Structure 1
Amino acid sequence: MSIQRTPQSWGRFPRVKPNAVLPVYWRHEVPQLDTLEKSILPYAYGRSYGDSCLNEGGISLDVSNLRHFISFDEEQGLLRCEAGVSLAEVLELAVPRGWFLPVTPGTKFVSVGGAIANDVHGKNHHKGGTFGYHVTQFELLRSDGTRLICSPEQNSEFFQATIGGLGLTGVILWAEFRLKPIQNPYIQMDSILFSSLDEYRQIAEESDKGFEYTVSWVVCLGNEKELGRGFFSRGNHDTTQPMPSNTQGKHLPLAVPFDFPSITLNRLTIRAFNLAIYNKQRKKYVHKLTHYDPFFYPLDAIHAWNRMYGKRGFFQYQFVIPFEGGYEAMKEIMQEINRSGEGSFLTVLKSFGDVRSPGMLSFPRPGLTLALDFANHGTQTLRLLDRLDAMVNAAGGLIYPAKDARMHPEDFQRYFPRWKEFEQYMDPQFSSSFWRRVTQPAAQ
């Protein structure tokens, strides 16, 4: 068994290696997993930020070659494909035919299997829930060779455990899910400047009623006037234009060719970047027709943008807190971040709705969610995140496992009280660096 490529998370922390990488090329010819002596974890494109996609000292099962489409009912929008197919490939197939992803995260370079395993969410959670909500069935391969067809009606416990199950219940070989109809690849988009969290709240409550997609970028570093301001983006699929002959967006050939020096991202440069972004829009309100690509995937236009954080990588920190008392808690959290000087280069604020996921360990629930990127400055960054943990806990919130690299075991087990029930459906030969970190200490 030879290493084909070394799996790495998008945050590039922690830097760990598996014992081996085992590629899978065809869903009917998977290696005999129960003969392997190390723990196993599926791996595709490494877009999880923390260590949920890593298996230090174990075997990474590379499923990125499972990229065949199996069937597509163009009348019903029901798509079946292998688990290594990327969301980008789904869009290339579906959009010209008048269909779109039911839910998409902020990058299209994730696999369908990864979207299920992390039960990803997007700008339309308040309307469409998570990706897992739209999955109708999938085939799950267990290490003993058993192949289970899982759906809400068939092997439903494995269906619930696998959605949001971080790849620990077995290998998803193929999946079937429902797409949503569209008339063209365009979005009718509004961008609205807001000066405070109070104004954000007013815009968000209004927008969630009439717009399918809502999200905002917010300032977490600056003086008292700057803190909490930002711009709110909302949009709906356009219904006025015909389907163009070319549905692909225009792509700028941008890339980050090398690791930035660690000093590049500091309080001054991050604040300057925040000011530049905020001041880029001169008017309070801007409406425009835009292609879906820059609306949903602005960072995908910059190849290897994670190199901006340097060789030490970065921490993505996302949490959700209940609406009740949430805005007051969010202000305090932003103030703590500002005091620390550990500014976030990208800070995204959104409201989750009450569309319930079938996933046993799914993260989203009604409330305010904030996602931040912190350059890894070692101990001082980790201490800040510990302080933020305490504030999130006090507000009754929780942290997103798919983006985590340092969550404490007692916190994970409190956030997800069904974790012991989930263990019943884990494959006995599957494990991950994340799972060992958040569960093993409790068993000692």
Structure 2
Amino acid sequence: MTACEYPSWGRLDFGPQQGERIPAEDFSFDALASSPPYLPYGNGRSYGDSCLNAQGALLDCRRLNKILAFDEKTGVIKCQAGVLLSQILDHALPKGWILPVTPGTRFVTIGGCIANDVHGKNHHQAGTFGRHVRCFELKRSNGETLLCSPEENPDLFRAAIGGLGLTGLISWAEIQLSPCQNPVIHQETVKFSGLNGFFDLSKESDANHEFTVAWVDCLARGRSLGRGHFIRGNYSPARPNKSAGSRSINMPFDPPFSLVNKLSLKAFNSLYYNRQTAPKKSCIVPCQTFFYPLDAIENWNRLYGKNGFYQYQCVIPPESSREGVREILDRIAAAGIGSFLAVLKRFGNITSPGLLSFPRPGVTLALDFPNQGPKTLALFNILDQVAAQAGGALYPAKDARMSPKMFRLSFPALEKFLPHVDPAFSSCFWRRTNERRQE
């Protein structure tokens, strides 16, 4: 076992992490040099502490990076859990297949996608990633190796999907991909002047567009509160616009302070909202440009400086989403801190398979916040109160500070999940939100 840096994407300080690189083949808990509790570690793209385990050992899964089989006729791919989504795209896209659901970065592992039951811009039509998982192999600390699927060990299958890596180590998985002969998107960007515009456009767009999402100006207030750009799209037979490239830039250093601050936010949000003068703009873009805009900026998390950043992502149920989101945005705007990238999206009614899956019917809002210590945490406590009163929930993959009470409110199936936790597995997040039964 070696002591080394295993950060999460938010770059907050959760203490030193120890990791052990597990072999690509013939993994056995008996062969580990480290002691429990254990936690699988993929590519470290969870924002908070759900991928960290300061009081135990991280099982570094990055050597589990092989595609094991691919049926070009059916689109079923079998791969090890440490395979990145980017590898699957490189392998399957030329053969006419694409990921059925993808989060906002392609640099996450298959194991991480299952453990967090990730969602994408097409939740209203395709549901979560877990719905497209056919089966996986789960290694438990007692030496058992179990095949989990909807038919075989179904309870453990449901627990592991969205189970935050706490049910054991997923070694490989089979995923059903979707056909895609021309991986380009016809994208429309519609400008809206306030929050009501978002809800109207969501209602109008969800039936006829596979992908929908919105950027909102998190500092706008009054009649302009919640103004932004609604982005919707479908696969297209056309070719991408010549200007739509895949170039990337790099944030090569850590600035001494956060470049995301009140002054830069105000300027950026105003310029970004007004950059589109027409009510609607259309273009043809490569699918990877559409799905992964932030992947074009390598190490973009460094923009927040050495103190790191938090992301706050909640979902508010349909019956209270309009007023709940309005109040949350108003509280954020009043605080004057927030995000360049404030994302608003409506989840559909497709049931997620996991016991602790975050997506559910309603509207989800996600924002990044530079770490300003107590000031930031005090705002989050206020937002928690609003979300809880509205019947909402928080997303563990993005969280770094929610209370045990908020965790239990967010996941009513928690008691059903508990018996499936591997007793030798834990995480910083798990100890903070569950094992410590206090507020």
Distance 1:15 1:175 in 2: 30
Q: Note the alpha carbon deviations across 1:385-427, whole angstroms, 9 max, x for none.
A: 0000000011110100111000000110122122232121111
Distance 1:384 1:237 in 2: 39
Letter in 2 for 1:374: F
State which of 97, 104, 107 in structure 2 corresponds to 1:106.
104
Letter in 1 for 2:334: R
Letter in 2 for 1:142: R
> Which position in structure 2 is the counterpart of 1:426?
421
Secondary structure at the residue paired with 1:359? coil
Letter in 1 for 2:115: A
Secondary structure at the residue paired with 2:319? coil
> Which position in structure 1 is the counterpart of 2:293?
298
Query: What's the CA shift for 1:224?
Result: 2.7
Letter in 2 for 1:58: G
1:259 aligns with 2:258: no
State which of 225, 230, 246 in structure 1 corresponds to 2:228.
230
Distance 1:321 1:400 in 2: 12
Q: Note the alpha carbon deviations across 1:68-125, whole angstroms, 9 max, x for none.
A: 1111111111110000000011100111111110100000000000000000000000
> Which position in structure 1 is the counterpart of 2:7?
8
1:64 aligns with 2:62: yes
Distance 1:185 1:100 in 2: 8
Query: What's the CA shift for 1:237?
Result: 1.0
Distance 1:179 1:98 in 2: 10
> Identical aligned pairs, as a percentage?
49
TM-score, length-normalised on structure 2?
Answer: 0.96
Distance 1:443 1:272 in 2: 42
Distance 1:307 1:328 in 2: 34
Distance 1:167 1:266 in 2: 34
Matches for 1:9-408 after TM superposition, within 5 Å: 9-18=8-17, 20-32=18-30, 36-240=34-238, 250-262=245-257, 264-408=259-403
Q: Mean alpha-carbon deviation: is it higher for 167-176 or for 21-30?
A: 21-30
Query: What's the CA shift for 1:262?
Result: 2.5
Distance 1:165 1:206 in 2: 34
Letter in 2 for 1:196: G
TM-score, length-normalised on structure 1?
Answer: 0.95
Query: What's the CA shift for 1:264?
Result: 3.0
Distance 2:248 2:180 in 1: 28
Q: Extract unaligned runs of 5+ from structure 2.
A: none
After TM superposition, the runs of 4+ consecutive aligned structure 1 residues lying more than 3 A away are: 33-36
Q: Note the alpha carbon deviations across 1:45-85, whole angstroms, 9 max, x for none.
A: 10000100000121010001111111111111111000000
Asked if the contact 2:245/2:289 (under 8 Å) is kept, the reply is no
Distance 2:174 2:25 in 1: 15
Asked if the contact 2:20/2:34 (under 8 Å) is kept, the reply is no
Letter in 2 for 1:2: T
Secondary structure at the residue paired with 2:173? strand
Letter in 1 for 2:8: S
Assess, with a 3 A threshold, how the Cα gap between structure 1 residues 286 and 443 changes in structure 2: closer, same or farther: closer
- How many equivalent pairs are there? 436
Q: Note the alpha carbon deviations across 1:108-162, whole angstroms, 9 max, x for none.
A: 0000000000000000000000000100000001112211000000011110000
Query: What's the CA shift for 1:240?
Result: 4.6
Distance 2:259 2:353 in 1: 42
Distance 2:72 2:220 in 1: 50
Secondary structure at the residue paired with 1:88? helix
Distance 1:263 1:66 in 2: 35
Secondary structure at the residue paired with 1:210? coil
RMSD of the TM alignment (CA)?
1.7
Letter in 2 for 1:28: D
Secondary structure at the residue paired with 1:192? strand
Asked if the contact 1:81/1:174 (under 8 Å) is kept, the reply is yes
Distance 1:204 1:410 in 2: 32
Query: What's the CA shift for 1:31?
Result: 4.6
Q: Extract unaligned runs of 5+ from structure 1.
A: none
> Which position in structure 1 is the counterpart of 2:431?
436
Q: Mean alpha-carbon deviation: is it higher for 31-40 or for 201-210?
A: 31-40
Asked if the contact 1:86/1:111 (under 8 Å) is kept, the reply is yes
Secondary structure at the residue paired with 1:41? strand
Distance 1:261 1:292 in 2: 35
Letter in 1 for 2:434: T
Secondary structure at the residue paired with 2:433? helix
Secondary structure at the residue paired with 2:175? strand
Distance 1:183 1:376 in 2: 43
Asked if the contact 1:197/1:331 (under 8 Å) is kept, the reply is yes
Query: What's the CA shift for 1:434?
Result: 0.2
